[in-house]
Amino acid sequence: MNLKEELEQKKQYFENELDKYMPGESSYPEILFKSMRYSLFAGGKRLRPIMLIEACEAFGGDAQKAMPFACAMEMIHTYSLIHDDLPALDNDNFRRGRLTNHKAFGENIAILAGDGLLSYAFEIMSNAVVENLDINSAKAMQAVAFAAGVNGMVSGQTVDVICEGKKIDKQTLDFIHLNKTAAMIVGAVKAGAYLGGADEKTIEKLEKAAIKLGIAFQIQDDVLDVIGTFDELGKTTNSDEKNDKVTYVSLFGVEESKNFTEKLSNEAIEIFKSCGDNMDFFVELTKYLIDRRS
Ligand code: FPP
Ligand code: MG
């Protein structure tokens, strides 16, 4: 099986589980759960939860133990996309091949669906921590909280928003990428590794690799915004230019941005390889993500 097929299989398995964790559309108030499910089951790649589960298994842990944390990760990621698309932020009409949440349900419900996904994520993780009563589950939740909040994604997004329309340097752009995007990838890998029982030294190395992979992933995202098509990406392209955003592409051009991606990915691969004998998935995934078209 090649990696693409393997990812598709893992995605199917995860989505079945995610469905079980999420209240059905007939739960009251229906509009809230419909709206949450609309974006949650809109065909994302599920990279963060897959990475979390894989990291857990790589260190001898069980996928079922990782599941509430993996679901939480995808709920937080989906909330961030819903809010990112709002008129007050990127004002986008399409995401994952369908209308954005606020276009389908209205701004008020879209804001609440995001709030609901974020808080529900912490509800299911804290339920798991209470049930498992072990320090590694608590550390996994801590890693996710750190990644999602003011030490990660929310701060990255804030700097992204306040820099719109301004000329910024590479250092500021790297802060945005590190926090807005790489933090959640780091959070997924670290949470999984804690659940699998990896030691702190290995987790420090995994963090370094995941940072590089995460920044490369965002640079590639910016490249795809310029060279990709609506059909490939499921969203309107050239959004960064429209929103007057500085990106690697606007600073360095497409070719040089691709070189940055390749260099960071190769560095990430070397670090992953030094994290143990079960790192093949992360090595292959990193290679695969450099060449992704969606
Ligand atoms: C696409 O992920 C998303 C990113 C590259 C990250 C962008 C970051 C934000 C939108 C942060 C927003 C934060 C707040 C607080 C509003 P993907 O390619 O994995 O998407 P998929 O899940 O649809 O496949
Ligand atoms: Mg955005």
Per-residue pLDDT of 191-248, as tens digits, reads 999 999 999 999 999 999 999 999 999 999 999 999 999 999 999 999 999 989 999 9
Ligand 1 atom nearest residue 89's Cα: 16
- The secondary structure element, H or E, covering residue 149 is none
Mutate to test the pocket of ligand 1, among 8, 84, 245 (most ligand atoms within 8 A of CB): 84
Q: Check if the beta carbon of residue 221 is closer than 8 Å to that of residue 294.
A: no
Q: Check if the beta carbon of residue 223 is closer than 8 Å to that of residue 254.
A: yes
3-state secondary structure of 94: strand
Give the residue, by CA position, lying nearest to ligand 1 atom 20.
44
**What is the C-alpha separation between 90 and 82, in angstroms, rounded?**
10
Cis peptide before 29 (omega within 30 of 0): yes
Q: Check if the beta carbon of residue 46 is closer than 8 Å to that of residue 73.
A: no
Q: Residues near ligand 1 with C-beta < 6 Å?
A: 44-45, 47, 77, 80-81, 83-84, 96, 153-154, 157, 180-181, 218, 221
Q: Check if the beta carbon of residue 180 is closer than 8 Å to that of residue 149.
A: no
**What is the C-alpha separation between 279 and 269, in angstroms, rounded?**
9
Mutate to test the pocket of ligand 1, among 11, 78, 81 (most ligand atoms within 8 A of CB): 81
Distance 62 CA to ligand 1 centre (A): 27
Backbone angles phi, psi at 99, to 5 degrees: -55, 145
* Longest CA pairwise span in the chain (Å): 51
Distance 218 CA to ligand 1 centre (A): 9
Chain centre distance of CA 7? 15
The reported pTM is 0.97
Per-residue pLDDT of 68-97, as tens digits, reads 999 999 999 999 999 999 999 999 999 999
Residue percentage of the chain with pLDDT more than 70: 100
The ligand placed nearest to the CA atom of residue 92 is: 2
Ligand 1 atom nearest residue 184's Cα: 6
Backbone angles phi, psi at 46, to 5 degrees: 65, 35
β-strands 94-95, 98-99 pairing: antiparallel
Ligand 1 atom nearest residue 154's Cα: 15
Distance 236 CA to ligand 2 centre (A): 12
Domains of the chain: 3-290 (1.10.600.10)
Chain centre distance of CA 111? 19
Ramachandran category for residue 234: left, alpha or beta (phi over 0 → left; psi -120 to 50 → alpha): left
pLDDT tens over the chain, length 294 residues: 899 999 999 999 999 999 999 999 999 999 999 999 999 999 999 999 999 999 999 999 999 999 999 999 999 999 999 999 999 999 999 999 999 999 999 999 999 999 999 999 999 999 999 999 999 999 999 999 999 999 999 999 999 999 999 999 999 999 999 999 999 999 999 999 999 999 999 999 999 999 999 999 999 999 999 999 999 999 999 999 998 999 999 999 999 999 999 999 999 999 999 999 999 999 999 999 988 889
